Structure 1
Amino acid sequence: MRKKSMTKRIMAMILSVIMVLSLAGCSGGGNKNNSDNASTTNQGKSDTGSKDNGSKDSAVDTSKHEVINFLVLGNKPTNGRLEAMLKELNKILTEKVNAELQLTYVEWADWQTQYNVQLLSGDTSLDIITTATDWLYAWENTQKGAFLPLSDDMLKTYAPKTYEQVSADGDWDICKYNGEVYFIPEDHYTQYTNHGMFYRGDWAKEAGLTDGTVSKFEDLTTYFKYIKDNKDGVIPWDAGKNSGDLLGFYIQSHTNYRNLIGVNAGNYAIWSTKPDDATVSAPFMEDDTIYAAADLMKQWNDMGVWREDVLNYDGDSREEFYAGTSGADQHHSQTFYSQVKPNMDTKQAGSDSKMYAFGSENSNIAKDLKTHGAAAISANSKHPERALMVYDLLRNDEQCYRLINYGIEGTDYVITDDGKLGYPEGYDQSTDALGSDYWCGRNDDLELVNSFTWSGRPDMIEGLNKIAYDYEYENLIINKDKIDTEQAAIASVLSEYWPQLAWGKFDNPKEKIDEMRAKVKAAGYDDVKASIQADLDAFKKSQSK
């Protein structure tokens, strides 16, 4: 029924466009050049009250004002800057496509659950949805009917600039399910979101590490021990309960297992293959490295690397890192070079902050997927066409792009004398950030070089490019209907053991790992593994044709 309904919608849309174009006839045609609007060149207006939407010689009826609701991830800012930005942005959107934008936030507390509930709730107020194939369940939500299929005609008509760019890069195929496009990739933006530990190079040097550098996972033990023994009032890593999968990071740094993306058991990314070996396995079930990982976590716990109540603590380790009361923080490379490094250089002058990337010692780091950020249109949207028009402007119009990404010039940012992105005097990213969390349409062509971003960013990215691999299964879609029950049962077992192992809370980790393995086996491990293997085998066969 959904597919038939969608076909009728598309046919109706195409017919309406044809009728409007017929009415416009020879009257719509003068060239219009506006240096402030990269997406409204060479356009005409029809007699129906329509406004430019960014496509050449197009005439789309925008006589009815629409509110476009954009679902984003993150804690909603409370400093008033977002609201001020939206007020200015909506003036432009109203002028160009007679629409305004509002943002709905899925906040970080229990975000995995809340995000999927929001998408599958049938909420007709949602229009644009932030998604991703590696961390925001894009394929799963596509299969469950959360997203609207997007035809070529629909994309060409309502998001022409985006369609042109994605087509030029040949990336529509990575967004297709059963032959139809379901989301738009953020494929024109350079970033690295691999994980790693941020630490202080000055303290690492004092700890005796060569060049003050953590070059392998075990060096962190030396670093943490030095802080515990020598820095009063500092917690080596004042981590919170959601600070990262230490067991997984250890396995990544000591083996060549590569995670299969988008096939989590609950919140646990456990399924893997190895390079040039399309054999599915879960390393914690089939490799002894997990024992060494859990032993080290117990050692760190006993050392006092983190708080005793880490499993209940939800503090902000980054702010504590900035304040000098925590010796470490954990997140992405992008976070390091764009936020942490420059902030530490200012707030902890001389700290020589650095990042140890998990998997760097054995070159087990994946390049970002082009669908690490993506935009979908809700299947329940009342005005998907206008939503695409708004998205096209956010992604391609310089005025709109700067507002949604940077805020209001002079208040949220400034342009330096050398043409770079800068910030007003007294600006503090910790409290003054815009917080729009626009992570699904960034565009290198419109990005400003950030004067705040660490100058070593290009060298860091070049270094990662030399060792990182391309993920080979970007188009692999697992049939989750076959394994949902077993995956849920496995996730339930893991939730009982994994956090306790990851934060070193079991007295006998090996005993608990063996218990966990037995329960995971009983929960249907072999059946899930066989089902994923069958899907992978079919994918490999299709790629070889």
Structure 2
Amino acid sequence: MMNKKKKLTATLAAMMTLGTVLSACGGGNNNGNSAAEATKAPASSEGAAANSGAPDTSKEVKLKMILLGPQPGDYDKVFGELNAKLKEKINATVETEFLDWSDWTQKYPLKFAANEDFDLVYSANWAFYNDQALKGGFLELTDDMLSKYMPKTWEVMPKVNWEQAKVDGKLYMVPNNNVEVTDKVVLYREDLRKKHNLPEINSPETYATYLKAVAKDEKGITAFGAKPADGWKFHELDQTLLEQNNNFKLVDRSLLPLAYKLEDATGKVFNIYDTPEFTSLVKYYKDLADNGAWSKNVVSNKNDVWQDVKAGKVSSYAHNLGTVAANLSEMRRDKPEIELGIADLTPDKKKIAAISTQNGMSVHASSKNPERALMLIDLLQNDKEIHDLTMYGIAGSNYNPEGDKKFTAGPAAANYTGFSNWGWNSPLNRQDAAYPEEANTMFDKWQSSIYHFPLETFVFDSTPVKNEVANIGNVMLRYAIPLEYGLIEDIDKGQAELLKQLKSAGLDKVQTEMQKQIDAFLAAQK
């Protein structure tokens, strides 16, 4: 992905609403069934054929799919063409509902709480996959189902992808089949670096030099763009400067400040805010803030940071490599006079790959047509004609195919973009012909040295401590964000107050529960 994935953090209000929903509904069904009962295959239109060999598609069905992101402008055109093809291939059509980025964190769990009528849905480890799997929102997928209704996916999907997608030993997702590295880089104004004769940006120190120079000498340009107003509970640079730089791994980056060291086989959990590395980083941030690297109103910023970069109002921001590379391509196409660059601030540190659940598709536990839903996912991932259409739109309009592997933007490219079709990423994905070569080079270097670690597929179940998690999120927004953005004059007192408030919110209880789950996970691997 998707990949927009940073861009997708929940606000505090949404997180508190989610906690209420999950605790009140007790699962994806309103009838109070247990998760095990809820994930039994429902009665379906193809039940009789399920035991007779080839799938029976004699009865036409209409599927409903839920995706994240805004409905693209050319949805009717693209999905109209898709449905004509689906009618021929599996005697089905699909209607799609889109949950906009601004409110998906509230609406997504409510779909399951209300047991709405839909068949398949985008799912991801950052988008409630584990929660809904445990609460019965998704249909359990068996080997027999996958091999019968998704023969091509079953053939080409690496076994490790299926294993990574399991929750408590059971599968509830068809994961994407595409390698993605999740480390963050920074996009910056290379023309401004050259203008001020600044050193190459390849470390936290050289980046700070760049940001302070821009802040000092470029009037009307904010050196670093951030958007904690989205509910992001950490500094936008924390993943790079705190995690990647120290080989830390946050257990749940969207919720909690609890982490372990990548090389620690015992998986000992600690509070990142109570480490000398964080104390040092706060001083780094304070120095940047005092030198005007970001706006004093950063906490309330609601602007689209990339659009501010494109408009020349912001000189740099942090994101995953894929998103940054796409933005760089866009700038070179639309405003070639503005020269951008990509910098890895931790080039010698461990690089880790996203697990397969970074993007995927699941079948609703109460789908009336689960077999046909699986057949649709099989086509989305592995049928070249269907994959191209749903990923890139209509050839000659939304995109122009360049051989089998690449594409260029078509005249209506802007009318088919911005939603979670990454749920069926696969080896059939095309690459933008304008994709920056420097990004490819960086990715190839990372891919050749990806680090695998014992807790790579561990997912924390926060249900036993959901109230404490909500309280901790509140504390982080109120105390951690102002501290990290240098808005507190006495940072030593600020850090001490943050630790005190986290303890009062129940961090110790959460840490104990998390360690218990990690210990059990590691024991099961032996």
Could you say which TM-score interval applies, normalised by the shorter chain?
0.7 to 0.9
Give, in whole Å, the separation in 2 of the partners of 1:385 and 1:245: 42
Letter in 2 for 1:136: A
Match of residue 408 from structure 1: 394
Alignment of 1:135-214 (within 5 A): 135-166=126-157, 169-186=159-176, 188-210=177-199, 213-214=200-201
Match of residue 358 from structure 2: 372
Equivalent in 503, 506, 526 of residue 524 of structure 1:
506
Per-residue CA deviations over 1:24-46 (Å, capped at 9, x if unaligned) read xxxxxxxxxxxxxxxxxxxxxxx
Match of residue 131 from structure 1: 123
Gap change, CA 1:343 and 1:116, over 3 Å in 2: same
2:467 maps to 1:485 = yes
Does the 8 Å contact 1:375/1:441 carry over to 2?
yes
Letter in 2 for 1:340: N
Give, in whole Å, the separation in 2 of the partners of 1:5 and 1:145: 5
Equivalent in 440, 445, 456 of residue 423 of structure 2:
440
Letter in 1 for 2:145: M
Give, in whole Å, the separation in 1 of the partners of 2:486 and 2:207: 15
Larger C-alpha radius of gyration, 1 or 2? 1
TM superposition shift of 1:408: 0.3
TM superposition shift of 1:406: 0.7
1:456 match: secondary structure: helix
Gap change, CA 1:502 and 1:128, over 3 Å in 2: farther
Gap change, CA 1:336 and 1:16, over 3 Å in 2: same
TM superposition shift of 1:4: 4.7
Match of residue 28 from structure 1: none
2:265 maps to 1:251 = no
Match of residue 64 from structure 1: 60
User: Root-mean-square deviation (CA), in Å?
Assistant: 2.8
Gap change, CA 1:357 and 1:270, over 3 Å in 2: farther
Q: How many residues matched? A: 489
Match of residue 223 from structure 1: 210
* Identity across matched positions, percent: 23
Q: TM-score, normalised by structure 1?
A: 0.82
Give, in whole Å, the separation in 2 of the partners of 1:486 and 1:418: 50
Gap change, CA 1:197 and 1:283, over 3 Å in 2: farther
Does the 8 Å contact 1:404/1:436 carry over to 2?
no
Per-residue CA deviations over 1:132-188 (Å, capped at 9, x if unaligned) read 22x22322221122211112222222222112222x5443222223432111111x2
Give, in whole Å, the separation in 2 of the partners of 1:404 and 1:8: 28
Match of residue 510 from structure 1: 492
Structure 1: gaps of 5 or more residues: 22-57
Equivalent in 97, 101, 107 of residue 100 of structure 2:
107
1:440 match: secondary structure: helix
TM superposition shift of 1:418: 9.0
Match of residue 455 from structure 2: 473
Equivalent in 73, 84, 89 of residue 91 of structure 1:
84
1:233 match: secondary structure: coil
Equivalent in 325, 331, 334 of residue 344 of structure 1:
331
Give, in whole Å, the separation in 1 of the partners of 2:163 and 2:88: 34
Q: TM-score, normalised by structure 2?
A: 0.84
TM superposition shift of 1:282: 3.2
Gap change, CA 1:272 and 1:140, over 3 Å in 2: farther
Give, in whole Å, the separation in 2 of the partners of 1:302 and 1:107: 36
TM superposition shift of 1:467: 4.6
Give, in whole Å, the separation in 1 of the partners of 2:461 and 2:405: 49
Give, in whole Å, the separation in 1 of the partners of 2:360 and 2:453: 17
Equivalent in 418, 432, 435 of residue 453 of structure 1:
435
Alignment of 1:350-369 (within 5 A): 351-357=338-344, 360-369=346-355
Letter in 1 for 2:140: P
Does the 8 Å contact 1:195/1:330 carry over to 2?
yes
Letter in 2 for 1:106: L
Does the 8 Å contact 1:124/1:382 carry over to 2?
no
Give, in whole Å, the separation in 2 of the partners of 1:59 and 1:123: 27
